[in-house]
Amino acid sequence: MSAAQGIAPRLSEIWVYLTATPLLGLTLTLLAYQFAVWCYRRSGGNPAANPVAIAVVVVVALLTLTGTPYRTYFEGAQFVHFLLGPATVALAVPLYTQLPRLKTMLLPLLGALLVGSLTAVVSAVGIGWALGASVESIRSLAPKSVTTPIAMGIAEKIGGLPSLTAVLVVTTGIVGAIAAKPLLNALRIQDHAVRGFAVGVAAHGIGTARAFQVSEEAGAFAALAMCLNAIATALLLPLLFGAFTSFAG
Amino acid sequence: MLAALTLLLLCQLVGEVLVQFFALPVPGPVLGLILLFAGLLVRGRIDAPLRDTANTLLQHLSLLFVPAGAGVMIHAARVADEWLPLTAALLGSTLLSMAATALSLKFFLRHRARKAAQP
């Protein structure tokens, strides 16, 4: 028996063993992300080379090539996914640091939050409905501007598909992070607090990650916007959908 | 570092328990954030380990969205069927809400500054 013939079954045995442990999914996530960050830096910090987008493409490509189901991958990746919870709690730190500035702008911030939050929900549902999206897709679209764990919870409450919502949320974040600079420049918004806040309302955590790369001030206001929008949408959306369903039904 | 991480998890845990217990509409981590924020207000300062741990987590916030994003795999058929309404809704709604938030915040701030300038 040649060496090559002996190696192949051995490798497939190792593969079967590895796919049964969380090690593979976890390592793949970290490697793909670091590759994505490397690409992002190589591009000179171009927002179009969004690290989340690149990492997702790499992960999906590798899983498809190896025929690995998403469920198997997520057994390992869930450890990274889980950290979204403590990271959300950790946002209290930048918020507290920016407290003096926040205090002076509280009412304008709350007003803008309401405008932005309603615009996000109404326009997502409206455009989806006008172009013929299915009912489940529309319900999954509604909370798309809110950070993942929260949006998934809301989607479940209003009859959407939480896992589809997660994908839509991540895509929203990528779109927002890429579009923020050209859009806000075109609107002649210069204040980093205003820029950060707008990105946080529209593009949650991924937008916030992008804002932190621009300045600590933009990041803190994006973080604030993301938290407030999560609370506002979690409170408003089930009520909106409840009213709409009872009206339509 | 370890103490700070434990504190973050504890806040989240208390948040989750309160949400379940009182059937609150807000998610557990958001309540955890509010609890930690309230704690910082009472204490009046942030200790260095907590600041460092929070900054480390937030520096890699993008990483935490990768597993959920890869879930696009299981919705490939739906995305292929409904790519137009989904893409249009995501693009349109994200740009509109960002513009609406930025313009309204700018307007409210300017309005208030003008009011303050009046004697």
- pLDDT at residue number A3: 55
| Res B26 pLDDT > 80 | no
Three-state SS annotation for chain A: CCHHHHHHHHHHHHHHHHHCCCHHHHHHHHHHHHHHHHHHHHCCCCCCCCHHHHHHHHHHHHHHHHCCCHHHHHHHHHHHHHCHHHHHHHCHHHHHHCHHHHHHCHHHHHHHHHHHHHHHHHHHHHHHHHCCCCHHHHHHHCCCCCCHHHHHHHHHHHCCCHHHHHHHHHHHHHHHHHHHHHHHHHCCCCCHHHHHHHHHHHHHHHHHHHHHHHCHHHHHHHHHHHHHHHHHHHHHHHHHHHHHHHHHC
How far, in Å, CA of B66 to CA of A139, rounded?
23
- pLDDT at residue number A98: 82
**Which residues touch A180 (CB under 8 Å, ≥6 apart)?**
A47, A195, A198, A199, A203, A207, A210, A211, B98
Q: What is the DSSP letter of B6?
A: H
Three-state SS annotation for B51-97: HHHHHHHHHCHHHHHHHHHHHHHHHHHHHHHCHHHHHHHHHHHHHHH
Q: Are A40 and A49 in contact (CB under 8 A)?
A: yes
Contact B85 A63 (CB under 8 A): no
In angstroms, the Cα distances linking B75 to A75, B36, B66, B78 are 18, 36, 16, 5
Contact A144 B93 (CB under 8 A): yes
Find the CB nearest A179 among B26, B89, B95: B95
| Res B79 pLDDT > 80 | yes
A52: chain B residues, CB-CB within 8 Å: 62, 65-66, 69
Minimal Cα distance from B88: which residue of A?
A127
- pLDDT at residue number A5: 64
- pLDDT at residue number A248: 57
How far, in Å, CA of B85 to CA of A130, rounded?
8
Contact B46 A93 (CB under 8 A): yes
Per-residue pLDDT of chain A (249 residues; tens, 9 = 90+): 455 567 777 888 888 787 778 888 999 999 999 999 999 999 998 888 999 999 999 999 999 999 999 999 999 999 999 998 899 899 889 889 888 888 889 999 999 999 999 999 999 999 999 999 999 999 999 999 998 878 888 888 888 998 899 999 999 999 999 999 999 999 999 999 999 999 999 999 899 989 988 888 898 899 889 888 988 888 888 788 877 766 654
Mean of the per-residue pLDDT values of chain B: 91
pLDDT cut 70: percent of chain A above it: 96
Minimal Cα distance from A131: which residue of B?
B85
- pLDDT at residue number A200: 95
Contact B89 A127 (CB under 8 A): yes
Q: Are A221 and A93 in contact (CB under 8 A)?
A: no
pLDDT in tens, B35-68: 999 999 999 999 999 999 998 988 888 899 999 9
- pLDDT at residue number A65: 95
